[in-house]
Amino acid sequence: MTKYYDFKTEINQKELQEVATFLREGKLVIFPTETVYGVGANALNPKAVDDIFKAKGRANDNPLIVHIADFDTLKDIVETPTEMEQTLIDAFMPGPFTLILPKKDCIPDNVSAGLNTVGIRMPEDKIAHELIKAAHTPIAAPSANLSSRPSGTKVSDIKDEFDGKVSAIIDGGETKIGIESTVVKVIDQVPTILRPGKITPEDIKEVVGVVQIDEHIFKKATGAVESPGMKYKHYAPNAECLLVYSDDEQTQIDLVNKNIKDNTIVIGFKEHQDKIHASEFYVHGSIHNYDEISHNIFTLLREVDRKKPDFIIIEGVKKEGLGIAIMNRLIRSTSYHYIEK
Ligand code: TXA
Ligand code: MG
């Protein structure tokens, strides 16, 4: 049975302790972070970690990231970071940032899917932080969604996917950022973005002077990849989807209009609502506000999918700043059906 906890307006300390105890006992708990909801378990308990893979239907060669609440725990679970890694930690933790580091033996092999590295994240969200602290153990937590579905950014979207499969669900309202953390691994002295997020390439470059973006961010992965998650279908609605982008606004509007078929829903900019001739139009945000689009996109994909359209057309954004992360998710949610002119 799943117990529900409402921490939307405030954290109930007694209930928080109860949920922390579930985690210590090896049970699964869904909790909010500033990026997306996570389905968490005690990262030091291989049986509990295995249950996460089962609950999500996740391939067991796709490693989990480990969430911590303080830097002492970091020392216990990973080897001493290099100077550059430490600079990144100082700059971006806590926050929407995951750093891949060489793991110590206490991290079970199923967490890291057999790799000798593990992703570490220190959420800044208050509920996540207090829960991890109260659990007194690092927490393995992938995004709360069935494998291949859009990540959960509010409880009503993921309730049906996990009801009965987890011991607790904490409702903290809609997550602030809406897309998952930036995943970075320092490779040959260069911080390499394996998954883009709210922390942008520019943010990283500003701190350490160099940055690179893995070539698979916008491309389908074939063969060996740095991050196993790149191989898998992700963020996908059930309907067929098309992503459309042009640097020229009018060309983008024309492209959308040209591709509309019967029973098509368009997801696009609020500024284009009257210019795009779809029977149903959903706003993902303003052309001038990528934070708004990032916040809305996953829940919107789910909402539109529930309408069972035959076709979904999504307006893309410029691949710049947070736009890189938005386009990475949209390209994958449309299964690489992408037109750019
Ligand atoms: O914002 C987030 O990161 C959320 C919240 C809950 O913290 N979590 C999340 O976890 O998105 P997940 O498991 O859905 O995504 C983690 C990504 C996957 O693509 C995985 O392949 C990659 O990180 N990853 C994990 N460990 C890795 C490792 N050792 N080396 C390379 N990539 C790794
Ligand atoms: Mg995920």
Nearest Cα to Cα of residue 126 among 4, 9, 299, 5: 9
User: Which of 100, 99, 93, 82 shows the shortest CA–CA distance to 132?
Assistant: 93
Q: Which atom of ligand 1 is nearest to the CA of 144?
A: 6
How crowded is the C-beta side of 266, counted as CA atoms within 13 Å?
27
* 122: Cα within 13 Å, side-chain hemisphere: 15
119 Cα–ligand 2 center, Å = 13
First to last CA, the chain: 51
CB within 8 Å of 99: residues ≥ 6 apart: 81, 85, 88, 89, 92, 93, 119, 120, 121, 184, 185, 186
Q: What are the start and end residues of each CATH 3.40.50.11030 domain in the chain? A: 240-340
- 94: cis peptide before it, omega within 30°? yes
Q: How many CB atoms lie within 10 A of CB 53?
A: 18
Ligand 1 atom with minimal separation from the 179 CA? 1
**pLDDT the model gives residue 231:** 78
| Residue 234 pLDDT | 79
- The finding on whether 115 has its CB within 6 A of some atom of ligand 1 is yes
Distance between Cα 128 and ligand 2 center (Å):
17
35 CB within 6 A, ligand 1: yes
Q: Where in the chain is the domain with CATH 3.90.870.10?
A: 3-218
- State the CATH architecture for 3-218: Alpha-Beta Complex (3.90)
Backbone φ, ψ for residue 191 (5° rounding): -60, 125
Tokens, residue 4 = 């529900």
The answer to whether 299 and 174 are in contact (CB under 8 A) is yes
pLDDT value of residue 253:
98
Question: How are strands ordered across the β-sheet holding 338-340?
Answer: 280-285, 264-269, 311-315, 240-245, 338-340
| pLDDT value, residue 255 | 97
Task: Evaluate: CB of 117 within 6 angstroms of ligand 1.
Answer: yes
pLDDT, residue 280, reads: 96
Which H or E run contains 328? helix 322-333
Please enumerate in sequence order all residues whose Cβ is within 8 A of that of 58, keeping only pairs 6 or more positions apart, or say none.
52, 142, 147
What does the pLDDT read at residue 323? Answer: 98
Give the torsion sign (CA, 141, 142, 145, 151): positive
Pocket test for ligand 1, best of 39, 66, 68, 98 (most atoms within 8 A of CB): 98
Regions of the chain with pLDDT less than 50 = none
User: Which atom of ligand 1 is found nearest the CA of 96?
Assistant: 1
- CATH number, span 240-340: 3.40.50.11030
Tokens 């060309």 appear where? Answer: 251
Overall pTM > 0.85: yes
Q: What is the pLDDT of residue 237?
A: 83
How many Cα atoms within 13 Å fall on the side-chain side of residue 106? 15
Longest CA–CA span in the chain (Å) reads: 58
| Burial of 249 (C-beta count, 10 Å sphere; 0-12/13-18/19+) | middle
What integer pLDDT is reported at residue 56 of this predicted model? Answer: 97
Bridging pattern class, strands 29-31 and 38-42:
antiparallel
Q: Is the CB of 334 under 6 A from ligand 1?
A: no
Q: Does the CB atom of residue 285 touch ligand 1 within 6 A?
A: no
Give 40's Cβ-side CA count (13 Å radius): 32
Show the tokens assigned to 106: 């206490």
